[in-house]
Structure 1
Amino acid sequence: MSHEQHQNLIDSLHECAVACNHCFDACLKEEDVKMMAECIRLDRECADICSYLEHALSRNTPFAAELAAVCAKICEACGNECKKHDHEHCQKCAEACFKCAEACKSIA
């Protein structure tokens, strides 16, 4: 499958990585950073796997389905953690994560 056929997923991956990086940075500025530790950790995990899969799909990786399955799992974990927090950046990140997880499942 060509990267053009994966364009919607690639777009979702990019949006999710950006949202996770923004959330990560904003969480570091929160008053109680320790309370945000798991959110911060999962933001990084999610941003990294989304960025990797975005690049891998653009070069037509033969491992697309396997990588997408792992990415969906990490996106869901990050989304579930982010939705526990009331901060706007966490809520936006959760939304992007859940959208990306669904897009990943479409090829997993």
Structure 2
Amino acid sequence: MKNISQEMQSCIDSCYSAVTASRVCLDQHMREPDMKQCHKLCLDTIAIATACAGMCAAKSDYVGQVSSVCAQVCRDCADECAKFDSEVCRECARTCRECADKCEAMAA
């Protein structure tokens, strides 16, 4: 079995970091009604970043397409989280932007 490239491993690591940050953000702000879009995007990020990391690790033929979608979802999540005055949201936004950058590189 071939080793995973450094670029691929970096994408996987960033995806799992985005999953963790999104879970923390979601847990911290779950009951806040003005953050419904934030909640939704954190859930979407958790789903797509988990899938993207798994497909990267498996060297799926669909890594490019999934990475592209993951990048978009992570950017949307980052933009939404950045609207709130919360350290947890700021960290989620930063982590999701980093994931989006790594996923865009994989999609190219």
Alpha carbons of structure 1 residues 88 and 95: separation in structure 2 relative to 1, 3 Å: same
TM-score relative to the length of structure 2: 0.92
Q: What runs of 5+ residues in structure 1 fail to find an aligned partner?
A: none
TM-score relative to the length of structure 1: 0.92
Percent identity of the aligned residues?
A: 28
Q: CA RMSD in A?
A: 1.1
Query: Which residue does the alignment assign to 1:8?
Result: 10
The residue type paired with residue 9 of structure 1 is: C
Query: Which residue does the alignment assign to 1:100?
Result: 99
Q: Is the 8 A contact 1:3 1:60 kept in 2?
A: no
Q: Is the 8 A contact 1:75 1:98 kept in 2?
A: yes
**Per-residue deviation, 1:4:** 1.4
CA distance in 1 between counterparts of 2:36 and 2:87 reads: 17
Query: Which residue does the alignment assign to 1:43?
Result: 42
**Per-residue deviation, 1:3:** 6.1
Q: Is residue 20 of structure 1 aligned with residue 19 of structure 2?
A: no
Aligned length: 104
Query: Which residue does the alignment assign to 1:75?
Result: 74
**Per-residue deviation, 1:55:** 0.8
Q: Is the 8 A contact 1:3 1:59 kept in 2?
A: no
Deviations, residues 50-69 of structure 1 (Å, cap 9, x unaligned): 01111111111100000000
